Structure formats: C-alpha cells, structure tokens
C-alpha cells in the first residue's frame, strides 16, 4: 500500500520544447528585422529636421498610449500565467484524487473493489495514452475517459455498505470521485485558449500603434533610433510568445507534463 503515499501531483512539471521555442524566437527576430528595415527606408525618405518639429507633441501622446498599452499587455500576461498556474494545480488535484480513490475502496467487497480499481486503471491509461496527446495536438478529447469515470461513479454510488467501516469508505470515495469529476471538467475547460480573437486583434493593433510612434520621431542618431525600434518590437514580440504559450497549458512549446498520470499508469497495478 505504500507505493502511492507521496503526492502524485508533485510529479507534474513543465515541458519546454527547445526547438519549437527557438522557432518562435526566430519568427520574432524576423518580424523585428522587417520593422527595422521598414523604419530604415522611412528614415531615408523623411528628413529628421521635419520630424523633430513634432517630437514634443508626439512624446506626450506616445507616453499616454504606451502606459495604456503596457497596462493591457501586462494584464493579459498575468491572466494567462494565472491560468497556467491554475491548470498545473488542477492536474495535480486530478491525479491525487485518482490515487486517493484507488486507496479508499480498500474496505469495499473484493469483487467491487477489483471492479472499481480496474476502472481507475483504465482511466489513468486513457488519460496518459489518449487524452494527453489529444490535448497536446489541440484536438478534441474523446469521451472514453468520461464514460470510464461514470462507470466508476455508478459502482461507488450503488454500493450498499454492511458495516461502519464500509460506510465511511463509501463517503470518502464519493468525495474523491466528486473532486475527480471537478478536476477533469476544469482540465478540459483550461485546454481552451484563454485569449479570444478580439483581444488578440486589440493587442496587435496596440503594438502597431506603438511602433508607428517610433517612426514619427525625429532623432539625429538614426542607428540609435533603429536600435530602439528593434528593442520595442522585440519586447512586444516576446510577450506575445509568452501569452500564446501560457494561454494553452497543454499544447505548444511550453506545456504541462503527464508524468503524474504515467506514474499512476505504471504503479496502480502494483497496489494491493
């Protein structure tokens, strides 16, 4: 019985796909190069003396727009990070609930105990082998796991205890099964991207507005101005990557591992 005494959720960690993340950074660098190149073309066509006449007014507007956009962008980053952190905690809760439920039915009759534990083993196998790859690929999760849990819940709810020990075990099992259902439902909801299309549109328009202000400033040192444009575009691009990755906790280059489920899959059959 001591095989699963540790917190199973503690096995959950973040997987970082280095090649995928490097590709995203490469896309950001390509975008930076495009914006800087376009700025360099504008510098040749527009005289700095003409642009410097409007630096004071443009500076006030840039500050106002920059503060507004920074607040919105920072808020979105915090929201998606909170969602990712909640998803990690929820996965830990779902794994722990499965392990606890597997233990708590020890007092049930042997036939029913074997039936419930077999259903939980099949559920762990389904999550690790079917659901996690589907989540990682952004596909819909099959209903197989839900049906397996429904069967387990039915067996627990229809069990008739014959002594106080079995009655207490049934009540604990019902609590664990409810926690398991809630955690599974939350996991499927959290797999949906947290940033809607309209918000992405607003973020992109805001980013273009910020870059446009860089273009209308007149600076004598043109290479320095190009460097400032590159830094601004690169920073916004990196934050976009962060938002995109953390808005989908189970897919992308940064995603939640299935180590807890793999551990269950491997060790549940050894529990007696």
Q: What is the mean pLDDT of the chain?
A: 87
160 φ/ψ angles, rounded to the nearest 5 degrees: -110, 110
In a domain, 198, yes or no: no
pLDDT digits (tens, 9 = 90+) for 134-162: 999 989 999 999 999 999 999 999 999 98
pLDDT digits (tens, 9 = 90+) for 54-79: 666 666 777 888 888 999 999 999 99
Distances (CA, A) of 130 to 37, 39, 117, 142: 46, 49, 19, 8
Range of the domain at 263: 14-189+214-270
17, 80, 25: which is closest to 249 by C-alpha? 80
User: What's the pLDDT score for residue 55?
Assistant: 63
Instruction: Check: CB of residue 254 under 8 Å from CB of residue 245.
Output: yes
In a domain, 22, yes or no: yes
Distances (CA, A) of 71 to 65, 148, 236, 246: 10, 45, 13, 18
Which region among 41-55, 74-88, 122-136, 255-269 has the lowest average model confidence (pLDDT)?
41-55
What is the rounded average pLDDT of the residues 116-140? 93
In a domain, 146, yes or no: yes
Domain tally for the chain? 1
Q: How far is the C-alpha of 255 from the C-alpha of 265, rounded, in Å?
A: 20
In a domain, 55, yes or no: yes
pLDDT > 90? residue 123? yes
What predicted TM-score, i.e. pTM, was given to this entire model? 0.84
Q: How far is the C-alpha of 90 from the C-alpha of 187, rounded, in Å?
A: 7
In a domain, 6, yes or no: no
Which region among 40-44, 161-165, 226-230 has the lowest average model confidence (pLDDT)?
40-44
Instruction: Check: CB of residue 3 under 8 Å from CB of residue 252.
Output: no
In a domain, 209, yes or no: no
In a domain, 27, yes or no: yes
The DSSP H or E segment spanning 62 is helix 55-104
In a domain, 204, yes or no: no
User: What's the pLDDT score for residue 126?
Assistant: 95
Instruction: Check: CB of residue 129 under 8 Å from CB of residue 145.
Output: no
């Amino acid at each position: 019985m001591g095989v699963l005494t540790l917190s199973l959720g503690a096995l959950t960690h973040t997987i970082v796909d280095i090649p995928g993340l490097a590709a995203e950074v490469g896309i950001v660098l390509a975008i930076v190069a495009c914006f800087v190149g376009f700025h360099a073309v504008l510098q040749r066509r527009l005289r700095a003396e003409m642009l410097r006449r409007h630096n004071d007014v443009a500076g006030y507007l840039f500050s106002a727009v920059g503060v507004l956009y920074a607040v919105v962008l920072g808020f979105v980053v915090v929201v998606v990070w909170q969602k990712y952190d909640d998803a990690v905690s929820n996965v830990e809760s779902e794994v722990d609930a499965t392990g606890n439920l597997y233990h708590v039915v020890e007092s049930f009759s042997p036939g029913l105990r074997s039936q419930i534990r077999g259903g939980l083993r099949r559920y762990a196998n389904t999550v690790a082998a079917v659901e996690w790859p589907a989540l990682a690929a952004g596909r819909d999760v099959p209903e197989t796991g839900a049906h397996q849990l429904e069967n387990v819940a039915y067996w627990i709810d229809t069990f008739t205890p014959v002594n106080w020990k079995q009655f207490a075990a049934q009540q604990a099992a019902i609590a664990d099964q409810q926690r398991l259902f809630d955690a599974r439902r939350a996991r499927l909801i959290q797999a949906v991207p947290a940033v809607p299309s309209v918000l992405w549109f607003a973020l992109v328009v805001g980013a273009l507005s910020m870059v446009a202000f860089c273009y209308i400033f007149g600076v004598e040192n043109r290479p320095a101005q190009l460097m400032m444009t590159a830094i601004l575009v690169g920073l916004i691009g990196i934050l976009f990557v962060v938002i995109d990755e953390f808005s989908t906790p189970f897919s992308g280059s940064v995603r939640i591992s299935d180590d807890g489920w793999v551990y269950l899959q491997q060790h549940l059959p050894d529990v007696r």
